[in-house]
Amino acid sequence: MDAYKKAGVDINAGYKLVNEIKSLSKNTELGAFGGMFPLALGDYREPVLVSGTDGVGTKLLIAIQAGLNETVGIDLVAMCVNDILAQGAKPLFFLDYLGVGHLDPDQAKHIVAGVVKGVSEAGAKLIGGETAEMPDMYTNGHYDLAGFAVGIADQSQLLKKTDLSEGDVLLGLASNGLHSNGFSLVRDILFKQHDYKLTDQLPGLDRDLKHELLRPTRIYVKSVLPLVEQGFIASIAHITGGGLPENVARILPENLAAEFNTNTWPMPAIMTELQKLGQLSFDDMKHTFNLGLGMVLAVHPENVAQVKEALVKSGETVYQVGRLVSGFKEVLIRKD
């Protein structure tokens, strides 16, 4: 092991991290060759497993530079479980992958603490993962994250395009700022086009850039899943890379279009400032950022009042942002 340590890999640090993760997650089975999850099918008649995988992207570079690594663990979980929720499924378990140059136990502990927090927010369980120490792959304290989640739904509960109708109402759930998309453009505008520091505070913001940019992605499972299970939601779009145009288009059948009115919800201040600083067109904005909506729900008109009330009680900020109209899978975003 001394020879391996001289080559840049500290096995003992890895063992110690596994034990710390066991403590954080309260899962003593971590560290086995495979993660185990007892699958109690209960009332599921035609159970379908739904899986998702994702990463955090170049937001990680902000976390590394700021020395604030916990919230990206929440982002990692959110990107996966929100996708599973968008299918109409309940997240069951999660696994993470952490690739590092040299294992910094304190940094890794903060990352995994965020993962554990995110998994808890999603009502799921962390059952395993991998930490790979690769000194010739990552340098300067850099690391990469990937996450993998599995959920379950009844076949009949899965959200389908055929359940959508003209006149269905689009409800937008407020995002927590940028979430985890568009950070290559964000970094270009703030730190290359302009010489901002992470300790700077932009006009209209209530915190410095490092805390603003590292706001964690919202996890919508606990507020939205009960409404899915009760049959009140017709479809869901998780607004990630590609913004409203690409993600809402994914849920539309061939004969419908989605019509949004941007006057019905506020765009976060960070996005307004980025648009000014980068001289971005609205087309750039809508294809890069979530514009303030982390998730869009399609709801039949008769269920709108009940759904809005339930979401507000669950702590969500909800906007009635548009409707489905006759069309050909277009996403129309009006500004009047």
Tell me the per-residue pLDDT of 126-136, one tens digit each, with 9 for 90 and over: 999 999 999 98
Q: Tens-digit pLDDT profile for the chain (336 aa)?
A: 564 454 455 545 555 655 665 565 566 566 667 778 878 787 889 999 999 999 999 999 999 999 999 999 999 999 999 999 999 999 999 999 999 999 999 999 999 999 999 999 999 999 999 999 999 899 888 999 999 999 999 999 999 999 999 999 999 999 999 999 999 999 999 999 999 999 999 998 999 999 999 999 999 999 999 999 999 999 999 999 999 999 999 999 999 999 999 999 999 999 999 999 999 999 999 999 999 999 999 999 999 999 999 999 999 999 999 999 999 999 999 876
What total number of domains does the chain contain?
2
What's 116's domain CATH number?
Answer: 3.30.1330.10
Q: Are residues 134 and 194 in the same domain?
A: no
Identify the pLDDT of residue 212. 98
Q: Are residues 258 and 306 in the same domain?
A: yes
Identify the pLDDT of residue 29. 61
What's 330's domain CATH number?
Answer: 3.90.650.10
Identify the pLDDT of residue 7. 46
**Which of 157, 192, 214 lies at the terminal end of a domain, its last residue?**
157
Identify the pLDDT of residue 40. 79
Q: Are residues 65 and 209 in the same domain?
A: no
Tell me the per-residue pLDDT of 225-241, one tens digit each, with 9 for 90 and over: 999 999 999 999 999 99
How long, in residues, is the chain?
A: 336
CA distance 84 to 33: 25
Q: Are residues 55 and 201 in the same domain?
A: no
CA distance 210 to 67: 9
For residue 40, being part of any structural domain is answered with no
| Domain ranges, residue 149 | 2-31+46-157
Which tokens in the block code for residue 90? 């309940």
Identify the pLDDT of residue 141. 86
Query: Three-class SS of residue 155?
Result: helix
Sequence-distant (6+) residues with CB within 8 A of 231 are none
Q: Are residues 98 and 124 in the same domain?
A: yes
For residue 38, being part of any structural domain is answered with no
Query: Three-class SS of residue 82?
Result: helix
**Which of 157, 178, 200 lies at the terminal end of a domain, its last residue?**
157
Tell me the per-residue pLDDT of 101-137, one tens digit each, with 9 for 90 and over: 999 999 999 999 999 999 999 999 999 999 999 998 9
For residue 41, being part of any structural domain is answered with no
Q: Are residues 199 and 301 in the same domain?
A: yes
For residue 86, being part of any structural domain is answered with yes
Which tokens in the block code for residue 245? 């145009």
Q: Are residues 147 and 166 in the same domain?
A: no
Identify the pLDDT of residue 4. 46
Q: Are residues 146 and 170 in the same domain?
A: no
Going from the C-alpha of 130 to that of each of 17, 59, 97, 102, the distances in angstroms are: 11, 21, 5, 14
Q: Are residues 328 and 194 in the same domain?
A: yes
**Which of 157, 180, 213 lies at the terminal end of a domain, its last residue?**
157
- Residue whose entry in the numeric block shows the structure tokens 């840049």: 8
